[in-house]
Chain A
Amino acid sequence: MSAAETTPQRIAGRGAAPQRSLWHVILVRPETMTLVLLVLAVILASQLSPFFLDISYILRSFTLSAEFAIVALVLTMVIIAGEIDLSPAANMALSTCLFAWAQASGVPMPIAIAIGLVAGLAMGALNAFMVIGLQLPSIIVTIGTLTLYRGLAQIIAGDKSIRMPEWFIGIDKVLVFGVPATVAIFVVVSLVLGLILAGTIFGRQIYQIGTNEVAARYAGIRTRRIKLILFLLMGLAAAIAGMLTASRLGSVRYDLGLGGELQMVLMAMLGGTYIFGGRGTILGTFLAAWLLVVVSTGMTVANLLPAIQLTVLGVLLIVAIIATNLIYSRAQR
């Protein structure tokens, strides 16, 4: 559509100069920052250990975070819509405990899985009800349910770990075209959600709601329905992620995925998702997930104490938030 491209120029009149150059557009995107960091991290890590130049080593390391990464993709959409969900890691634990408990008490596997998924959805629905129905801020609501879901998981599972049947264990060892299954799932989900967010009306309206919810409502966008869908998706993704984790670990305890919300938020933020909503991409979170894996594995290889590793992650989170803020508010003065 060459005619289509030239018309705005003409309309802009003689005051208008050429559109901003391509490099300008690319450089001010936060995903570019993520990609640069990723390349730097790989170079640095390969200095530490030549393993990092071996793709299968990175893939195997990725299986340890793949479940969180899958949820982080959905979380990205929730944050773009102007909300947040901090409960998915606890949701993973509770839905998986229910699933494992049902399964251990003799319920057939398909039904047990259904129980886990429904539980995840129900937890998402509860969040949605409080955020959309009662108009409470999602950060407070999901801090509450994060505690609640984790507590319930502990009540159900106690301190014991529930063993998974042999055949259920080891999905992370299954290779699909040479890629561990959980990583493959992550890649596929990234593609699907990326296309939805960038190419469909549903995705478009997520950005519009996150940018200005009042204006979105005036424009006839079903803001509440879209948010409900997002919270439900979140619950579903958490339940699935929980079961993938169970398969990887071979057993389920109440502390499954403990602290996972930090990693999920970190992935979204490092990927350039704007904490106040309206901006961000799946591509960013996708890159950030790899970045985070390389950084954490690198730190483990370098024998850093867990406490130091946590500190580094915290610093990364803060730097990511500041950097995206700066990039987005690059005020033209």
Chain B
Amino acid sequence: MKKADAVPFVSARGISKSFAGIEVLRDVDLDLAKGEIHALLGENGAGKSTFAKILAGIHLPTRGTLSLDGRTIEVSSPVAAQKLGITLIHQEPISFPDLSVAENLVLGRSEDGWFSRVPWAEMTIEAQRSMDLLGVHIDVARPMRGLSIADQQMVEIARALASDSRLIIMDEPTAPLTPREVETLFGIARRLRDEGRTIVFISHRLEEVRALCDRVTIFRDGDKVATDTIGNLSDVDIIRLMIGRPLKEYIHKHSAEIGEVALEVQGLTLPGVFHDISFSVRRGEIVGLGGLVGAGRTDVARAIFGVVPATGGVVKVDGKAVHIDEPEEAIALGIALVPEDRAAAGIFRTLPVEQNITAAVPDRIAPTGVIRRAIERSLAQDSVAKLRIRLASLNQPIGELSGGNQQKAILARWLLVDPSILILDEPTRGIDIGVKAEFYDMIGELASQGKAILLISSEMPELLALCDRVLVMAEGRLTAEIARSEASQERIMSAAVPRVEAAA
């Protein structure tokens, strides 16, 4: 770990950025040394991604300069950034769904002319090698479409790592990953650092930042408020710097009355995806669903919600067997699903925030079929206030919000539905610490109102703190059901790791 010497590797001076007259970054000065891992912290919408995108040539700063090795540089486009050896791993993986994983991996790296031959064989071998390096088991010949969000993220990471860059910016790379994959990623990041490369790491998980990073920079409302060595700052310091006030205490243990069984599945099966899944969720109960990425948790949620129905087994709502083939039927039965992949299944990117929030409650905003703007506005307004969504205007396209704020808007959409059964698939992905606490409170509150909640999460502390019971899945099967009193990180992990049969 070298300290920043005379000439820092990258130095940003007075970087400011405005969108349509709204300043979202203000005079940011930041130095990055060679061979350091530097964390960016801050609330949702603080400007972390915007700063990262400026480094990577996606946004042009309104003011300010960047220099590399002491020379002023003009990062005018992502291609220019690539030439300078700067790579960004996006917060939202962007890929070409119809191309294969291998093609996505090498995309945009070709130095050859337009008409040169595409070396498919080498490409595939190289792609497989970089996936193996990450310890991910994905067939690189399959198309991107249908990959879980975590796998998409791993492909995105592999692409950046294969590019041989000197500055790698990772924007919330760990958000969709489980601890094991996070460890692999950290191992690689440390190795890259030791090779003298610089890594910028954005995350909302303090423990990750502590485990990995050398220095941190904290943003608040577009200002850089501090840069320091991680050891010099306590968690309390960091939170105070991030949100400007002490963290709101939250009650982990909710005291909801557990009632009748609201949702029950028996022997749910979708061949090749999940098998013989049986569990039930009672009113007022929060049931966790843990497991590794790819264990089939999201598929079970989708099956219950009617996105990709199961072929075998029974789903019962309030004791009655139901047949759900479409999400609209699930919603009519009082089921809501906050999907994991918000870019693909959640947001309407170019439509106003307001319309995104009210999308699932047409009957409330338009009782007669004609939209009542005043009702719509006030519903959206309440949600924005309740979840503290940071935006410039309710008419702003939701794609312009920061990642965490988009997630809050999607949560808001489903809370408006007022479901009796709420399935949350990684609901806090990308949400900052301050709001997370409030969100946990809110879930507890919903449970005490008698809602049945199924919480799919890769965050152990979340499962442990919130759930009355934790179910664990591995390779498409339920492997454990752990009561709250017995739940621990170790028990969940040991049930989550696939058992390797001795015979196999």
A134: interface (CB < 8 Å): no
Question: Smallest Cβ distance from B280 to chain A, in angstroms?
Answer: 24
Select which of B332, B365, B391, B413 is within 8 A of A12 by beta carbon: B391
Residues of the A chain whose Cβ atoms lie less than 8 Å from the Cβ of B392: 8, 12, 16-17, 19
Q: Is the CB of A15 within 8 A of B385?
A: no
Q: Does A173 contact B (CB under 8 A)?
A: no
**Minimum distance in angstroms from B97 CB to a CB of chain A:** 11
CA distance in complex: A37, B58 (Å): 33
Return the chain B residue nearest A19 by Cβ: B393
Q: Is A201 an interface residue (CB 8 A)?
A: yes
Contact residues, B348-387 vs A (CB, 8 A): 348-351, 355, 359-360, 362, 365-366, 369-371, 374, 377-378, 381, 384-385
**Complex Cα spacing A294 to B327, Å:** 48
The answer to whether B23 and A17 touch across the interface, beta carbons within 8 angstroms, is: yes
Instruction: Choose among B307, B346, B369, B394 the residue that contacts A8 (Cβ–Cβ < 8 A).
Output: B394
Chain B nearest CB from A12 CB (Å) reads: 5
Complex A-B: 16 CB contacts under 8 Å: A1-B374, A1-B377, A8-B381, A8-B391, A11-B391, A12-B391, A15-B24, A24-B20, A211-B351, A215-B346, A215-B347, A215-B348, A218-B339, A222-B326, A279-B350, A332-B19
Contact B351 A8 (CB under 8 A): no
* A204 / chain B contacts, CB cutoff of 8 Å: 355, 362, 366, 371
Contact B349 A11 (CB under 8 A): no
- The number of residue pairs between A and B whose CB atoms lie closer than 8 Å in the complex comes to 132
Q: Which residues of A contact B326 (CB under 8 A)?
A: 217, 222
Specify which of A9, A221, A333 lies most central, judged by the most chain B CB atoms within 10 Å of its CB.
Answer: A333
Chain A residues 1-42 with CB under 8 Å of chain B are 1, 4, 7-9, 11-21, 24
Q: Which 6 A-B pairs have the closest CB atoms?
A: A220-B331, A211-B348, A220-B328, A201-B366, A20-B20, A219-B359
By a CB distance below 8 angstroms, the chain A residues around B327 are: 217-220
Interface of A is mostly: helix
Query: Is the Cβ of B307 less than 8 Å from the Cβ of A218?
Result: yes
How far apart sit A220 and B59, CA to CA, in the bound complex (Å)? 35
Q: For the complex formed, measure the closest distance between the CB of B65 and the CB atoms of chain A, giving whole angstroms.
A: 16
Docked complex Cα distance between A332 and B19 (Å): 7
Any chain A CB within 8 A of the CB of B293? no
Q: Is A212 located at the chain interface by the 8 A CB criterion?
A: yes
Query: B389 contacts the other chain (Cβ, under 8 Å)?
Result: yes
Q: Are B351 and A207 in contact (CB under 8 A)?
A: yes
Whether a CB of chain B sits under 8 angstroms from the CB of A214 is yes
Interface string of B290-307 (1 = CB under 8 A from A): 000000000000000101
Min CB–CB distance A194 → chain B (angstroms)? 13
Given A11-B385, A12-B390, A214–B344 Cβ distance below 8 Å?
yes
Kindly state whether residue B101 has any CB partner on chain A within 8 Å. Answer: no
| Smallest CB gap from B339: residue in A | A218
- Which of A207, A215, A216 neighbours the largest number of chain B CB atoms within 10 Å of its CB? A215
**With A11-B389, A17-B392, A212-B349 already in contact, 4 other A-B pairs whose C-beta atoms are closer than 8 Å:** A11-B385, A208-B359, A214-B344, A218-B339
CA distance in complex: A215, B399 (Å): 14
Q: Which residue of A lies closest to B388 (CB)?
A: A11
Check: A145 CB closer than 8 A to any chain B CB. no
**Contact flag A201-B371 (CB < 8 Å), given A208-B351, A220-B331:** yes
Contacts of B390 in A (CB 8 A): 11-13, 15
- Asked, given contacts A278-B350, A333-B60, whether A221 binds B359 with beta carbons under 8 Å apart, the answer is yes
CB B324 to nearest CB in A, in angstroms, measures: 12
| A200 contacts the other chain (CB 8 A) | yes
Contacts of A216 in B (CB 8 A): 348, 359
